[in-house]
Structure 1
């Protein structure tokens, strides 16, 4: 069985955080510092990149492997009879959706922030093809060129002039969390289609979230679409796709507000406007 890597801090109800990218929790420390004043914050590191595994071989990643690991972490850290909240970012948000679909036991509420499961959209086939282009660009011209293509995809801009570059060696790739994301995560995760029917069966335990600075962009549209199709709640958070790093205190405060509202609200909620009628 694969070794589990996670950090635990704070006291209170369990909040599981699943980072984006290749699962490296870099940049989330200031946010978790705030949240640890109220929660037992458990930050899951699926590949162990922050726990001595950076540089070790990595296979192509599957959403189900991340959510299975997250479920095992919860079994280890949850006190008897208690349930957990989950916050997943980007690729970690996709894993959080799968966790709610396949391992709903002992989950109190899931917040999935800008999960790039773009196949659910009406133009999903075209959007998946764009992420395949991101992967192909990485293999042909390296991470800087692929990051430029990815940025254009997320913001809905036409690709600019090709950024020159060269592929990384295997050793260079294994030493870079961003390169590992481009090489082993981006294709498989953006090809994942969440079970919208299953999620529609637990709408009171799900919030789709997106950054207020992401309005009009691909992943804001994706989050809104999933919320509408499942009857789940939708909430805007400070900043953009990496709002937790840009505005850690405000992001943490918004998460607490969202979870508190979940405890008291009934029916679908769009948290830009308040409770909606059922």
Structure 2
């Protein structure tokens, strides 16, 4: 039976909760959306015999605490948090699976702390700065609209426009047999509120030196879900990242949330790419 170790790490202005389990090289999972350390339990179970898997609650989510909850957060801050977390668990380069906003955190790490990363799977990074000016302006409007709906009507009302901009259709989402998606709990509702109120702003206002990203020594693997439509925000970002780096896009099982809906297929491909 795999033992789960839990701990916290102090970072400027916050304390991050994290979990460590498994055996082998360190693999940090930087979750998408409102996801905390337990978002991808089925995926982690598929990986824990091959990797020492580290998952965590991003600042503002679940068990991670913030000194000033109303203070704005930036993607650079999230990346610095991940840097300090990795430093707390290993002094060797770690592999990274970053999904959506988690992939943007990884892109910042690849520029600012490349020595900490081995292979980095960047699955559908929500990074408007990767896009052409026209696409960037359109996607920033979509993200702003999601936030406007959230502030006017609450997080539940904002789920529909958020799903549309990410190419997620909850009514037509395939799932591997035996997989159960997380229920909507009070904790998850609070996480959605923080994500929409703070992290959406961080994504909208983010920027990164693309030339420095191209020069990074990190092995970056751009990835997207098989069912994510080609015209939506996150898929376009994945395509642009692949073009920027001059490599092919890897296509994973499922869509934007394939790490949750297709954990077995996702884990198999992840292991193959890291090997």
Contact map agreement 2:168 2:255 (CA 8 A) in 1: no
Is 1:211 matched with 2:210?
A: no
Q: Which runs of 5+ in 1 are unaligned?
A: 158-171, 261-278
Q: Classify the secondary structure of the residue corresponding to 1:37.
A: coil
TM-aligned CA deviation for residue 155 of structure 1: 2.8
Cross-structure match for 1:115: 125
Cross-structure match for 2:24: 12
Cross-structure match for 2:176: none
Change (3 A) 1:246 1:58: farther
Cross-structure match for 2:111: 101
Is 1:124 matched with 2:141?
A: no
Cross-structure match for 1:45: 57
Among 177, 190, 195, which residue is 2:191 paired with?
A: 177
Tell me the alpha carbon deviations over residues 167-216 of structure 1, each in whole angstroms, 9 at most, x when there is no partner: xxxxx899621121111111211332332211211376101111001031
Change (3 A) 1:145 1:134: same
- Structure 2 Cα separation of the partners of residues 48 and 29 of structure 1: 20
Contact map agreement 2:168 2:228 (CA 8 A) in 1: no
Contact map agreement 1:92 1:115 (CA 8 A) in 2: yes
Cross-structure match for 1:254: 269
Larger Rg: 1
Contact map agreement 1:87 1:112 (CA 8 A) in 2: yes
Change (3 A) 1:135 1:258: same
What are the equivalent positions in structure 2 for 1:147-158 lying under 5 Å apart? 147-155=159-167
In angstroms, what is the RMSD of aligned CA positions?
Answer: 2.4
Among 197, 207, 210, which residue is 2:211 paired with?
A: 197
Is 1:239 matched with 2:254?
A: yes
TM-aligned CA deviation for residue 65 of structure 1: 1.1
- Structure 1 Cα separation of the partners of residues 42 and 208 of structure 2: 30
Q: Classify the secondary structure of the residue corresponding to 1:49.
A: coil
- Structure 2 Cα separation of the partners of residues 214 and 156 of structure 1: 7
Change (3 A) 1:6 1:48: farther
The number of residues matched between the two structures is: 243
Q: What TM-score results when the alignment is normalised by the length of structure 2?
A: 0.81
Runs of 4+ more than 4 Å apart: 172-175
- Structure 1 Cα separation of the partners of residues 265 and 141 of structure 2: 35
Q: What TM-score results when the alignment is normalised by the length of structure 1?
A: 0.80
Change (3 A) 1:210 1:78: same
